[in-house]
Amino acid sequence: MAGIVIYGSQYGTARQYAEELAGRTGHEALPYGSVGDINQYDTIAYVGALYAGGVLGMKRTFAKLQSCEGKTVVIATVGLADPTDSQNVSSISNGMAKQLPAKLLQAAHVFHLRGGIDYSKLGFKHKTMMRLLHGKAQSLPEEEKTAEVRAMLNTYGKQVSFVDFDALDPLVAVLGQSRGVLPLDRS
């Protein structure tokens, strides 16, 4: 059964997760721009960074998938905002629903991971976007500050990493099952 870990990463945090996941599952990790025919894989894990609510490279990657029938698809988003915050998760889910066909989204195992940011590494466009967002966020009343806004305010201008490889355990479990290496039938 052929499997792959594909990632969409601008500054490396999603790539770190993808490479760790690849190491733990025995699959190859590739950036989304370097994947050949996605249809040859039975198991597809996509690890993508969140940018303005969208998952980097995800739409373009899965647009090439003819059918998800019989395949194991795992999708993990990587963002700065707290992935245990229900409002944040529902806003990520809404974004994903705009990027993927409903059938694929239903079939996929979806996870949300926390990434990081290093302002000294941001490109001009991203720095400018963050400066504008920060300016707006500062003036928001406390009750209107979402997890996304709070994460941005708390980390603005800094270098922070919330990367936590233990958060990959449930993904490894799903991917392991798809390869038939995990199931321990105790019945």
Ligand X SMILES: Cc1cc2nc3c(=O)[nH]c(=O)nc-3n(C[C@H](O)[C@H](O)[C@H](O)COP(=O)(O)O)c2cc1C
Residues of this chain that interact with ligand X (CB under 6 A) are 9-15, 49-53, 78-81, 115-117, 122, 126, 129-130, 148
Give min distance, CB of 164 to ligand X, in A.
Answer: 12
Give min distance, CB of 112 to ligand X, in A.
Answer: 9
Give min distance, CB of 87 to ligand X, in A.
Answer: 12
Residue 47 or 68 having the CB closest to ligand X: 47
Residue 52 or 102 having the CB closest to ligand X: 52
The alpha helices in the chain, defined as continuous H runs, are: 13-25, 58-62, 86-99, 102-107, 124-138, 147-155, 169-178
Spatial distance between the Cα atoms of 29 and 27, rounded to a whole number of angstroms: 7
Give min distance, CB of 27 to ligand X, in A.
Answer: 18
Residue 60 or 103 having the CB closest to ligand X: 60
Spatial distance between the Cα atoms of 117 and 66, rounded to a whole number of angstroms: 35
Distances (CA, A) of 109 to 34, 173, 183: 23, 11, 17
Distances (CA, A) of 97 to 52, 121, 138: 14, 30, 29
Residue nearest to ligand X (CB): 115
Residue 12 or 176 having the CB closest to ligand X: 12
